[in-house]
């Protein structure tokens, strides 16, 4: 062990960092997908990631669903309005979304009403 000084660092490497690496590897296999961290605003992008967080906000009009999608390089908010059901969107789902990237209230990246496709994610089969 003494000839490998990094072993303690490796053991204490945050699991979040390991997860990000794994997500990146997966997202790179989806054709035509831009890493979220590199998706520039006011342009149309196709990004692939995993649903990290879902928000249903009736105050913003009935059936407003928001999903935070992460791919290890950054996060983006996908926002759909006027939906009566989740139509397959769930936590951990692999998803490919495409649309115009905008900026939200907290400077976060947002795509409004993106086209989306559920794909087998790197996580949960």
Least Cβ distance, residue 40 to other proteins (angstroms)? 27
Q: Binding of other proteins at residue 105 (CB under 8 A)?
A: no
Cβ-based nearer residue to other proteins, 54 or 100: 54
Cβ-based nearer residue to other proteins, 5 or 15: 15
Q: Report which DSSP code applies to 93.
A: -
Q: H-type helices in 5-79, by residue range? A: 7-12, 15-27
Least Cβ distance, residue 55 to other proteins (angstroms)? 5
Give dist(CA 61, CA 80) in Å, integer.
Answer: 11
> How many residues sit close enough to other proteins to count as binding (CB under 8 A)?
35
Task: Point out which span in 6-14, 33-41, 72-80, 108-116 binds other proteins (CB under 8 A).
Answer: 6-14
Give dist(CA 116, CA 95) in Å, integer.
Answer: 7
For the segment 39-98, give every residue that binds other proteins (CB under 8 A).
Answer: 50, 52-59, 63, 65, 83-86, 88-93
Output 106-110 pairs: Cβ under 8 A, ≥24 positions apart: 108/75, 108/76, 108/77, 109/36, 109/39, 109/41, 109/74, 109/75, 109/76, 109/77, 110/76, 110/77, 110/78, 110/79
Q: Footprint of other proteins on this chain (CB under 8 A)?
A: 8, 11-13, 15-16, 18-19, 22, 50, 52-59, 63, 65, 83-86, 88-93, 121-125
């Amino acid at each position: 062990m003494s000839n490998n000084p990094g072993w303690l660092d490796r053991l204490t490497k945050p699991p979040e960092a390991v997860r990000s690496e794994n997500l990146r590897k997966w997202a790179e296999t989806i054709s035509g997908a831009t890493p979220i961290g590199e998706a520039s605003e006011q342009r149309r992008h196709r990004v692939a990631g995993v649903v990290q967080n879902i928000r249903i906000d009736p105050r913003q009009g009935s059936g407003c669903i928001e999903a935070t999608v992460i791919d290890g390089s950054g996060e983006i908010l996908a926002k759909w309005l006027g939906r009566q059901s989740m139509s397959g969107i769930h936590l951990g789902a692999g998803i490919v979304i495409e649309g115009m990237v905008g900026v939200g209230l907290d400077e976060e990246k947002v795509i409004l009403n993106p086209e989306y496709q559920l794909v087998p994610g790197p996580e949960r089969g």
